[in-house]
């Protein structure tokens, strides 16, 4: 922490103020993404025609395997892993429903090939699509003592698929907990004896199981793995690569537009103490939804995201308690007239928030969805109130109990806020009923917030304590229960397992809201696992984050 004295002439009776400057690293990207070179229109049109032709070919292949469930499951799995399933949502939905009805409801088991790989793939794909198929289908792979059979020990492909399937477990499925431990332990022991590409698949899955991976990022990884298998579907692979490049062009155009907007605000100069993370924020948003139909939704959320990131840093890396009280009250009033009551340095941020929301409001009005703005404003007000609560704790050097800390910390995780904003540009499915459901704080939201908060605290605890940040969940837990930091981490890991099971449970049919809305929550949770698994990759942008951004926004696929 570095305390710096900064004159604030606009605050009465204060000549100099001591501020805990965090010294966040600057943006590493500069103006790299501002300029966007449009692709030749003829080349673009040719690629789009190729995509349409290949889509029809894949549809025919899906239809041709209607009575061959294992072949159909493999095609569906490949389309999902390659990031092109959004082109075939109806076909995949119909296929999985048919497989569910004919192999489970009618026969109460999977009647295709009975090897471990096939059963685990069947289980995972149906669970991913919300069907609560029973884990009893794995009974046949256990012995009379309920241990998994020794004959499975060398079945690396089957063990890998079993490992992936176990990450769809819900509470009360001890068999899947045992299966996870069994598969994980065995895969770790044999991975160095496997050949490429299976060895690479196993290493990747052990680091990040499919359930926790970002679809767009997982697709980039899977391209080379899939291509390395002689049995790969050439039409699928070509479609996936062409589609990736077309979407990447769209994403680069969006980021270019946002980069020019962000530069025009000049926040990097006006708020030098805050994190300048437009590009990382856009990567976060791509994790939530990458599909072309959500272009407007991305443009809305990235603008709000950059605003709230700056506000977050004003509250815990710069503002005094008196200043923050003024800003909190101004946010509650939501009125441009409140500008005059704010310190000079806060005014550009407050004005920009109002401007962004006015722009969104105009768009919502054009769509006949003006009701959404009430929710967007209320969730912002609640988030800022949470920031204020934490600022008071920090000012008073108060370490709350873990039970007192978590309700506030879940709010300041920002995940109810981001979920709300993510719905604004999603069209008719984001109904008033959906927003009311979201504001009832359902279990899936609490679980998503928990993953965000717990992983954030685990990775940023030491850095934040060094700079005089509010007590983290780790510190609260250690003090209350008299445990070591490692013991607190162990407890947090247990709570993360519970939270993921809650999410899995809430993503099963019957859905309480349309599935695309649930997917935003799932993907937001996945983003946290990607960015915060080993470090705070948003605040301290290192190799892993740079490589991830480059793979999605710089490097095209070679077709």
Calculate what percentage of the chain has a pLDDT beyond 70: 94
Q: Is 492 helix (H, G, I), strand (E, B) or coil?
A: helix
Query: Class for domain 2-30+266-542, per CATH?
Result: mainly alpha
Please tell me what DSSP assigns to residue 539: T
Q: Is 155 helix (H, G, I), strand (E, B) or coil?
A: coil
Contact 214, 527 (CB under 8 A): yes
Examine the pLDDT at 211 and tell me if it is beyond 70: yes
**pLDDT mean across residues, the chain:** 94
Examine the pLDDT at 200 and tell me if it is beyond 90: yes
Q: How far is CA 285 from CA 56, 164, 216, 232, 470, in A?
A: 30, 25, 11, 31, 27
What is the spatial distance between Cα 210 and Cα 507, in angstroms, rounded to a whole number?
A: 16
pLDDT, residue 2, reads: 42
The pLDDT confidence band at residue 110, using thresholds 50, 70 and 90, is low
pLDDT, residue 7, reads: 40
- The predicted-structure confidence for 382-414, as pLDDT tens digits, reads as follows 999 999 999 999 999 999 999 999 999 999 999
What is the spatial distance between Cα 43 and Cα 334, in angstroms, rounded to a whole number?
A: 48
If you search the block for the tokens 């599909």, which residue do you land on?
Answer: 291
Stretch 169-178: mean pLDDT: 98
pLDDT, residue 37, reads: 83
- The predicted-structure confidence for 282-320, as pLDDT tens digits, reads as follows 999 999 999 999 999 999 999 999 999 999 999 999 999
Examine the pLDDT at 102 and tell me if it is beyond 70: yes
Stretch 108-118: mean pLDDT: 73
The pLDDT confidence band at residue 207, using thresholds 50, 70 and 90, is very high
Peptide linkage before 510 cis (omega within 30 of 0): yes
Examine the pLDDT at 18 and tell me if it is beyond 90: no
Contact 515, 217 (CB under 8 A): no
Strand ranges, E, within 408-527? none
Identical fold for domains 2-30+266-542 and 65-232, yes or no, is no
Examine the pLDDT at 430 and tell me if it is beyond 50: yes
- The predicted-structure confidence for 250-289, as pLDDT tens digits, reads as follows 999 999 999 999 999 999 999 999 999 999 999 999 999 9
Examine the pLDDT at 428 and tell me if it is beyond 70: yes
Residue numbers in the known binding site for Mg(2+) are: 312, 316, 464
Examine the pLDDT at 113 and tell me if it is beyond 70: no
pLDDT, residue 461, reads: 76
Calculate what percentage of the chain has a pLDDT beyond 90: 89
pLDDT, residue 468, reads: 61
- The predicted-structure confidence for 347-364, as pLDDT tens digits, reads as follows 999 999 999 999 999 999
pLDDT, residue 467, reads: 61
Examine the pLDDT at 191 and tell me if it is beyond 90: yes
Contact 545, 527 (CB under 8 A): no
pLDDT, residue 13, reads: 36
Contact 539, 463 (CB under 8 A): yes
Q: Which helix H or strand E contains 5, and what residues bound it?
A: strand 2-7
- The predicted-structure confidence for 448-469, as pLDDT tens digits, reads as follows 999 999 999 999 877 666 666 7
Stretch 432-452: mean pLDDT: 99
Stretch 164-180: mean pLDDT: 98
- The predicted-structure confidence for 365-386, as pLDDT tens digits, reads as follows 999 999 999 999 999 999 999 9
pLDDT, residue 142, reads: 95
Stretch 532-548: mean pLDDT: 96
Residue numbers in the known binding site are: 312, 316, 464
Q: Which helix H or strand E contains 267, and what residues bound it?
A: helix 267-270
CATH number of 65-232: 1.50.10.130
pLDDT, residue 40, reads: 86
- Nearest to 328, CA basis, from 346, 302, 355: 346
pLDDT, residue 183, reads: 98
Q: Where are the domains of the chain?
A: 2-30+266-542, 65-232
Examine the pLDDT at 109 and tell me if it is beyond 70: no
- Nearest to 493, CA basis, from 444, 455, 537: 455
pLDDT, residue 470, reads: 82
- The predicted-structure confidence for 480-521, as pLDDT tens digits, reads as follows 999 999 999 999 999 999 999 999 999 999 999 999 999 999
Q: Is 416 helix (H, G, I), strand (E, B) or coil?
A: helix
- The predicted-structure confidence for 50-86, as pLDDT tens digits, reads as follows 999 999 999 999 999 998 999 999 999 999 999 999 9
Examine the pLDDT at 9 and tell me if it is beyond 60: no
């Amino acid at each position: 922490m570095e305390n710096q004295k900064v004159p604030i002439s606009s605050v009465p009776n204060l000549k100099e103020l001591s501020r805990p400057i965090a010294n966040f690293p600057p943006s590493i990207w500069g103006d790299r993404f501002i300029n966007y070179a449009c692709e030749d229109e003829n080349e673009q049109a040719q690629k789009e025609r190729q995509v349409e032709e290949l889509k029809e070919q894949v549809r025919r292949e899906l239809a041709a395997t209607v009575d061959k469930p294992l072949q159909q499951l493999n095609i569906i799995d490949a389309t999902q892993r390659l990031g092109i399933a959004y082109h075939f949502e109806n076909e995949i939905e119909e296929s999985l429903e048919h497989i569910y009805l004919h192999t489970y409801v009618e026969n109460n088991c999977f009647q295709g090939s009975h090897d471990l790989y096939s059963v685990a793939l069947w289980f995972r794909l149906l669970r991913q699509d919300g069907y609560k198929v029973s884990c009893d289908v794995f009974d046949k792979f256990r012995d009379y003592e309920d241990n998994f059979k020794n004959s499975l020990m060398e079945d690396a492909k089957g063990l890998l698929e079993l490992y992936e399937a176990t990450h769809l477990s819900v509470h009360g499925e001890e068999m899947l907990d045992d299966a996870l431990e069994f598969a994980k332990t065995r895969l770790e022991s044999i991975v160095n004896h496997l050949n490429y590409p299976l060895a690479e698949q196993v290493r990747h899955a052990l680091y990040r199981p499919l359930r926790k991976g970002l679809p767009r990022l997982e697709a980039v990884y899977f391209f080379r793995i899939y291509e390395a298998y002689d049995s790969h579907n050439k039409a699928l692979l070509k479609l996936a690569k062409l589609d990736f490049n077309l979407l990447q062009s769209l994403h680069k155009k969006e980021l270019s537009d946002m980069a020019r907007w962000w530069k025009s605000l000049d926040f990097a100069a006006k708020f030098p103490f805050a994190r300048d993370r437009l590009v990382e924020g856009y990567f976060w948003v791509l994790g939530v939804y990458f599909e072309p139909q959500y272009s407007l939704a991305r443009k809305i959320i990235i603008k709000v995201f950059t605003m709230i990131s700056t506000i977050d840093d004003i509250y815990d890396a710069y503002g005094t308690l008196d200043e923050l009280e003024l800003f909190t009250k101004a946010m509650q009033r939501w009125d441009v007239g409140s500008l005059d009551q704010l310190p000079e340095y806060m005014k550009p941020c407050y004005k920009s928030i109002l401007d962004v929301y006015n722009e969104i409001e105009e768009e919502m009005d054009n769509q006949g969805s003006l009701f959404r703005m009430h929710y967007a404003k209320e969730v912002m007000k609640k988030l800022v109130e949470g920031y204020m609560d934490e600022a008071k704790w920090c000012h008073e050097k108060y370490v709350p109990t873990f039970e007192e800390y978590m309700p506030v910390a879940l709010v300041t995780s920002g995940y109810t806020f981001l979920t709300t904003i993510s719905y604004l540009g999603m069209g008719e499915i984001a109904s008033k009923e959906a927003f009311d459901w979201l504001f009832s704080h359902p279990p899936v939201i609490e679980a998503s917030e928990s993953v965000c908060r717990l992983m954030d605290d685990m990775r940023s605890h030491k850095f934040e304590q060094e700079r005089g940040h509010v007590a983290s969940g780790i510190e609260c837990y250690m003090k209350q229960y008299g445990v070591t930091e490692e013991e607190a981490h162990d407890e947090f890991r247990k709570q993360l397992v519970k939270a993921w099971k809650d999410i899995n449970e809430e993503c099963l049919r019957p859905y309480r809201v349309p599935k695309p809305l649930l997917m935003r929550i799932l993907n937001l949770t996945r983003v946290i696992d990607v960015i915060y698994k080993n470090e705070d990759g948003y605040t301290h942008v290192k190799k892993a984050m740079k490589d991830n951004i480059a793979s999605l926004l710089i490097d095209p696929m070679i077709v």
